[in-house]
C-alpha cells in the first residue's frame, strides 16, 4: 500500500505539472498530464493496479531518460530517482494491489494454492 501511495502521489504531481505548464498548446503534454493524473489516481485507490503501474513507470522512465518532454518543475531530474521509481513500479506490477485496494473489493483477494506432488508408487 505504501509503494502504491508513493508512486501514485508522484504520478499525480507530475501530471499536474504537465497540465499547469500550458499543456493546452501541445497535445503531447496534455495527453501526458492526463495519463499521469489517471495513473496516479488509479494507483492511489488501487484500481487496475498492474496497468496503472506500467503507465506510471513508463512515464517516469520516459521523462527521466529524456524521451518525453519534461515540465519545468520536474520530480525526475536525477537519474537515481528515475531508477528508484522504475524499481518501485516493477514491484507494484508484480506484487499486485494488495488487501487495501479497490481491486481487492471488486475482484476479491487471490489465494495461491500449491498442489501437493503426486505420490509415486514403486512397482
Query: Domain map of the chain by residue range?
Result: 2-98
* Predicted confidence band of residue 38 (pLDDT cuts 50, 70, 90): very high
At residue 42, the pLDDT reads 92
Residue 65 φ/ψ, nearest 5 degrees: -100, 20
CA atoms within 13 A on the CB side of 26: 14
Asked if residue 112 has pLDDT above 80, the reply is no
Mean model confidence pLDDT for the chain: 81
Q: Which helix (H) or strand (E) holds 58?
A: helix 49-64
At residue 39, the pLDDT reads 92
Each residue of 49-97: pLDDT tens digit?
889 999 988 888 887 777 666 666 677 677 777 888 888 888 888 888 8
Cβ atoms of 79 and 66 closer than 8 Å: no
At residue 41, the pLDDT reads 92
pTM, to two decimals: 0.73
- Maximum Cα–Cα distance for the chain, whole Å? 78
At residue 102, the pLDDT reads 84
Q: SS3 of 99, please?
A: coil
Number of Cβ atoms within 10 Å of the Cβ of 65: 12
Whole-angstrom CA distances from 99 to 1, 2, 4, 12, 42 are 8, 12, 12, 22, 15
DSSP state of 98: -
Amino acid at each position: 500500500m505504501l509503494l502504491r501511495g508513493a508512486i501514485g502521489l508522484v504520478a499525480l504531481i507530475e501530471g499536474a505539472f504537465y497540465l499547469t505548464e500550458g499543456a493546452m498548446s501541445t497535445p503531447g503534454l496534455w495527453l501526458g498530464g492526463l495519463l499521469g493524473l489517471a495513473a496516479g489516481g488509479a494507483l492511489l485507490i488501487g484500481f487496475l493496479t498492474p496497468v496503472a503501474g506500467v503507465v506510471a513507470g513508463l512515464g517516469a522512465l520516459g521523462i527521466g531518460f529524456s524521451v518525453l518532454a519534461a515540465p519545468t518543475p520536474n520530480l525526475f531530474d536525477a537519474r537515481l530517482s528515475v531508477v528508484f521509481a522504475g524499481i518501485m513500479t516493477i514491484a507494484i506490477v508484480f506484487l499486485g494491489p494488495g488487501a487495501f485496494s479497490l481491486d481487492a473489493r471488486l475482484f476479491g483477494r487471490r489465494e495461491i494454492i500449491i498442489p501437493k506432488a503426486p505420490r509415486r508408487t514403486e512397482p
